Amino acid sequence: MNLLDEEHFNVEIENGMKNGCLDLPFELQPETIAIQEAVKVILKGLGEDINREGIKKTPFRVAKALRQGTRGYKQKVKDFVQSALFPETGLDDGQAGGVGGLVVIRDLDHYSYCESCLLPFRVKCHIGYVPSGGRVLGLSKFSRVADVFAKRLQEPQRLAEEICSGLQHWVEPSGVAVVLQCSHPHFPGFVEATVTSGSGSFGDESSELWCEFLSLLKFKLRRDVSVKDWCPFVIENSSKEADLEMVSAVVSILKALGEDPSRKELVSTPTRFLKWMMKFQNVNFEMKLSRFDWKLKERRLSCETNIQFWSMCEHHLLPFYGVVHIGCYCADGPKALERSLVESVVNFYGFKLQVQESMTRQIAETLSPQVSGDIIVVAEAEHTCMISRGIEKFGSSTATVAVLGRFSSDLSVRTKFLESIQKTD
């Protein structure tokens, strides 16, 4: 197996070599093998064929993603901070020269894994600190320090406190303030939560220093969601018991990541994770769609846009989500393409282990016979596997297009539909 092109994991391997804790190639390490075997059990429990081409390498990809996404357990704040403290002249007790005055670092994007359900959640981190001792920390290191703690199984409040205490201990400023805006996936949207932590001169959140910090963040703190309500899978109750073999598989994953599955915050994590995964269980197509009326009519351009969907990347078992737009020329008659039917088809193909290209094609091929073969499907999605691992491209999105019938040969018709999408954004 060629790992030379896996540049992000090479960094981790090199760090492990320096620490003297890595003697085997990544794919042969016991932790990697344990996660791969566990993932195979989960895939089988979802009704998947682990030898299918699309998911044959999924166990290894998941192992790599999880170990990369929890690399913070093997990292130390001091390794990033000690060589990045720079002398800065100024007044220690004044507001000049960056020493004694407030420094704010905004909009640091990170991903972490929810310790309650193992789903990745997005973090936008803001840090304020007051330098002391005639020295400042290199700005890039704030993101490095935040990443040390984000790349662990976490919940928002503890993450904020660990970032704050880590900077306070190793940088020794007059004070540190941390604000985290966190977003947890939960179909059909997200649960949002904002948490804070302060130390030293930021110990009192009602102080003028906090007010100054928040004013420079240019947004108002919102605490609509209690941290106790943070993970939606903690709130939801389910009477259905999880498969014991699959639960044991998730427990082995937690152990391989260096966690203690008996820790009180993790005791119910395997069940919650499997509850999410079972939403993408392989099901029988005919049984799912037999109740719908497929007699779609009316010969004109009909558009259904911004149909929300969620799916699970079959390569990494990480969510991707977005919207689907559909255009078609329906057969003669008084009735156009019904949105409820389209939503059902989109959700059916979304709630599978998928790749976006296949999902787009499957939706088009399913609806095509009902609209005389003339159909266009555009799917726009954000992929957690592109954001929380590997290249970590925040803000990136992917669009896929499937065209059949008239839409495949008539540029003017395609253009008309694509222009209609732009007007709905």
Residue ranges per domain, the chain? Answer: 75-203, 300-423
Tell me the mean pLDDT in the region 264-285: 86
DSSP H or E run through 404: strand 398-404
Residues 408/335, Cβ–Cβ less than 8 Å? no
Is the confidence at residue 129, as pLDDT, over 80? yes
Is the confidence at residue 17, as pLDDT, over 50? no
| pTM greater than 0.75 | yes
Is the confidence at residue 187, as pLDDT, over 60? yes
Q: Do 75-203 and 300-423 share a fold? A: yes
Give the span between the Cα atoms of 341 and 297, in whole angstroms: 13
Sheet holding 189-200, edge to edge: 153-154, 103-114, 120-130, 175-186, 189-200
Q: Other C-beta atoms within 10 Å of 164: how many?
A: 24
Would you state the structure tokens that stand for residue 298, as one six-digit string?
Answer: 């009316």
CATH architecture of 300-423: 2-Layer Sandwich (3.30)
Q: Fold for 75-203, please state it.
A: GTP Cyclohydrolase I, domain 2 (3.30.1130)
The whole-number pLDDT of residue 234 equals 77
Give the span between the Cα atoms of 317 and 56, in whole angstroms: 13
The whole-number pLDDT of residue 347 equals 92
Among 172-181, 228-237, 240-249, the range with the most confident prediction by mean pLDDT is 172-181
